[in-house]
Amino acid sequence: MLFNTNLEEIIFHRHEMVQSDELVILSGYLGPNPVSRLESLPLNSNVIYGMYGDKGIQNRLHNALVKCQVNIPQLNIYYSTVPIHSKCYIWKNKNVIEHALIGSANFSTNGLSTPYREILAETTYDTFQPLHEYVDRVMKNSILCTDIDLINSTNIPKVINVGGICQMSLLDNQGNVPLASGLNWGQGKGNVVLNDAYIAIRKEHIRSCPFLFPPKQDFTTMSIAGGRSTRHNDIVEIIWDDGMTMDGLLEGSQDENGVKYPKQISSFPSKSLMGEYFRYRLGVTSGKAVTIDDLNRYGRVTIDVSLQDEGIYYFDFSIKKP
């Protein structure tokens, strides 16, 4: 069978269909949120970050993966020193492959959550032995993530940050916190929850950091909407400066030189998660409006946003020392 939707749920429930005591994941890129979810599985998990040997890894993403490694006893995360772009999901029992999926989907929220963009397909029994040999070869050229010293090592690939760092304001054009949008989106009228919030993506952000926010992708919704073409909202992962992680949504649409880009970033699946998190950081009571005084008291009115890997962002809201 071939799958192109609900890929994350397929991976996390496949062990219910086959007898297995180990899940092996080889993925070009990794996201911390699905990796952390491996704690819920009743089997050991070995995860290999394949493209480490090509690009290295951003420090914030590395720290998030190390945190998963330390906190989940039945999990081991490895970095391949040889560039590997393959995506393989293998269920073993007593070191023998019982089931496997291969395809194009990275083990990240972005890779597993976009309908129709990626695929995974079941492999046949005759592929199990060569697949076993292939993954073993990759594993022999891999390093446990906790054995990597990104600061002092001279033997790791150079990290390439193509998106740059974008400073995004939490204020409107008049220098105030919007009353019914942005951090106070939930304070407005309509189909909103009290703590709903988003961070606005302005055209100057797209111009100054053109690789940071991808253009909106068109796809046909087939029978669901009678074949109508629509623009998909990409689900991404956000790593905050204090170690908090959450899924985000690049939503809305705005035109820049004839290309459609997202207009804002919210949390997913609940838009109030971001608003609750900001209020926690700012010391504002849940449900209350955020004011310019709250931000000034905290010490900043902007967020530094950078791209850690495909579909994985780092949001820095820390207080900058003078």
Structural domain boundaries in the chain: 2-147, 165-316
Residue 320 and residue 64: Cα distance in Å, rounded? 22
pLDDT (tens digit per residue) in 303-320 = 999 999 889 999 999 997
305 φ, ψ (degrees, to nearest 5): -115, 130
φ and ψ at 291, to 5 degrees? -115, 170
Q: 255: Cβ–Cβ under 8 A, 6 or more apart, which residues?
A: 261
Torsion angle, alpha carbons of 57, 63, 66, 68, to 10: -110
pLDDT score, position 224 = 42
Is residue 151 pLDDT above 70, yes or no? no
**Closest listed residue to residue 273, CA positions, set 208, 197, 219, 185:** 197
The phi and psi torsions of 281 (rounded to 5 degrees) equal -65, -35
Provide mean pLDDT across the span 1-14.
96
Q: What is the pLDDT of residue 40?
A: 97
Higher pLDDT, 160 or 204: 204
- The reported pLDDT for the residue numbered 322 is 65
Cα distance between residue 124 and residue 282, in whole Å: 54
Distance of CA 233 to the CA centre of its chain: 14
Q: What is the rounded distance in angstroms from the CA atom of residue 134 to the CA atom of residue 92? A: 15
The domain 2-147 is placed in CATH, from the list 3.40.30.10, 2.40.50.180, 3.40.50.300, 3.30.870.10, at: 3.30.870.10
Kindly state the average pLDDT of the residues 29-48.
97
Stretch 217-237: mean pLDDT: 61
Q: 136: Cβ–Cβ under 8 A, 6 or more apart, which residues?
A: none
The percentage of the chain sitting over the pLDDT mark of 90, rounded to a whole number, equals 81
Q: Which residue has the tokens 């592929």?
A: 127
pLDDT in tens, 90-132: 999 999 999 999 999 999 999 999 888 899 999 999 999 999 9
- Put simply, whether the predicted model's pTM sits higher than 0.85 gets the answer yes
Tell me the C-alpha distance between 318 and 320, whole Å. Answer: 6
